[in-house]
Amino acid sequence: MSCAPILVSELHSLEWVGILLARVAVGLLFFLSGRAKLFSATRRQEMRQTLIEAHVPFPEITAVFVSTVEFVCGLLLVIGALTPLASLMLAGVMIVAITTTAIRNVEASSAAEWLSAILYLPEVLYLIILIWLFFSGAGWLSVDHLVLWQTQL
* pLDDT at residue number 4: 84
Q: How many residues does the chain have?
A: 153
* pLDDT at residue number 12: 84
Tell me the whole-structure pTM to 2 decimals.
0.90
Q: What's the gap between Cα 122 and its chain centre?
A: 10
Q: What tens-digit pLDDT sequence spans the chain (153 residues)? A: 578 888 888 888 899 999 999 999 999 999 999 999 999 999 999 999 999 999 999 999 999 999 999 999 999 999 999 999 999 999 999 999 999 998 988 888 999 999 999 999 999 999 999 999 999 999 999 999 999 888 875
Owning domain of residue 106: 4-151
Q: Is 83 exposed, middle or buried (0-12, 13-18, 19+ CB in 10 A)?
A: buried
Enclosing H/E stretch for 34: helix 15-39
* pLDDT at residue number 1: 56
Count of the separate structural domains present in the chain: 1
Interatomic CA distance for residues 143 and 27, integer angstroms: 14
Asked if residues 93 and 61 have their Cβ atoms less than 8 Å apart, the reply is no
User: C-alpha distances in angstroms, 86 versus 31, 48, 68, 80, 146?
Assistant: 11, 23, 12, 9, 17
